[in-house]
Amino acid sequence: MSDALQKTITLLLLIGLGLLLKSKFKNKDQTNGIKEIILSVALPSTIFISLMKIEIDSSMIIIPLVTLVFNFLMFFSAPLAFSLFGIEKNSPTGRTMMMLIPSLAPGLSCFPFIAEFLGEKSLAIAALADVGNKFFVLISLYILAMNMFLKNSDDKETKMGGKLKSLFASMFQEPINILIFLAIILLSVGINYNSLPFVVTEIFDKTSAMMTPLVLLFIGLAVQLKEGKKRIVASILFFRAGITMIISAGMIYVLHITDLSMILLAIVIPLSAASFWPLAHISAFNLREDAKGLPKEKRTFDLELAVLLLAFSLPFSTILILAILSSGSFFAHTSTLLTSGMIFIVLGAVPNALSKVFVKMSKA
């Protein structure tokens, strides 16, 4: 068994362990405690390390920019799913989909396979591409979530200046954003991760090491396996994969990418699992609504759907990525990608179409 496959199985088993431990975490505060450690310690440390290890080179800026363009293309493509699934855009489900569909988590679902099949050089390019994605999920999606929250709140008379003040105040209160700005300042004066004192790097290394197991355990603990939710999650994941393949085919064609390794990178990185960061943003605003005692149907986001989507996104993406990389050059043709993308979109639309047919038959 390959190292990459063993790693994937390990990640899935950690989610399974979380599911098994659900009976031990009956108190919601216990689960929230794990989430707080992730949001305030483990994930900020991981992002700080990633940023501080970047080697600045002006010729390489195109790589994260291409990923950022992809993120926004996915964001603007997400509303296409609403008619397929019968979902209102301005509903908790619709807003949650807008947050999660364009986000990527290549570190968990993609990087191990890139290292196994494409080598260290491709892995380095993939890590650089993730910088653009991190900018999108950390900053762009946070601003988007804040805007959705403010529009959905009862405070309709708040002026734009007040909204911007609230946005920046909230951003600077979160540990992850504080460390991002700190990393940018340090890099701008020529200080990288290796320049930091040993004690400092050890603290960040140790706290960052908690991130993956804690995130996966939290997903297992928080997931609620409800039939209706599983159907919409399956539809979203198939649609997301289909749109991703079509956009990847377009970018390969427009950028005239001919190297096989680069083509495969352009396919598998966008197919990464949905990022944990949208859930972090959603959770932050959900806590505010908890304090107000808002019912689920009036919430800005559907936290349960977000958690469930994350839980199934990881195995779904890793299976797809492993299949594509294992197939050699089969998916390296735009025609194959376009055909596969259309098939996945149709598969995503089938459950909702069938449910409509059954409803009509029952009424007949």
pLDDT in tens, 55-67: 666 666 788 899 9
Provide the terminal-to-terminal Cα distance of the chain, rounded to the nearest Å.
54
pLDDT in tens, 84-98: 777 888 889 899 999
* Percent of the chain predicted with pLDDT > 70: 86
Confidence of residue 167 (pLDDT cuts 50, 70, 90): low
The answer, yes or no, to whether residue 358 has pLDDT greater than 80, is: no
pLDDT in tens, 106-163: 876 787 778 778 877 787 788 788 888 988 988 889 888 888 888 887 655 445 555 5
| Per-residue pLDDT, 171 | 62
Q: How far apart are CA 137 and CA 98, in angstroms?
A: 12
Q: What is the mean pLDDT of residues 221-241?
A: 78
| Per-residue pLDDT, 132 | 87
The answer, yes or no, to whether residue 272 has pLDDT greater than 90, is: yes
DSSP 2-19: -HHHHHHHHHHHHHHHHH
The candidate with the shortest Cα–Cα distance to 248, out of 227, 269, 228, 233, is: 269
pLDDT in tens, 45-57: 877 887 787 666 6
Task: Tell me which of 106-110, 282-286, 335-339 is least confident.
Answer: 106-110
| Per-residue pLDDT, 364 | 56
The answer, yes or no, to whether residue 39 has pLDDT greater than 90, is: no
| Per-residue pLDDT, 61 | 75
Tokens standing for residue 117: 């099949």
Q: Which domains are delineated in the chain?
A: 3-358 (1.20.1530)
The answer, yes or no, to whether residue 240 has pLDDT greater than 90, is: yes
| Per-residue pLDDT, 156 | 52
Confidence of residue 225 (pLDDT cuts 50, 70, 90): low
pLDDT in tens, 294-325: 777 788 899 888 988 887 887 888 889 888 98
The answer, yes or no, to whether residue 336 has pLDDT greater than 90, is: yes
CA 255 to each of CA 50, 225, 235, 317, 339: distance values in angstroms, whole numbers, following the listed order: 27, 42, 30, 25, 20
Q: Is 145 in contact with 289 (CB distance < 8 Å)?
A: no
Confidence of residue 251 (pLDDT cuts 50, 70, 90): very high
> Mean of the per-residue pLDDT values for the chain?
82
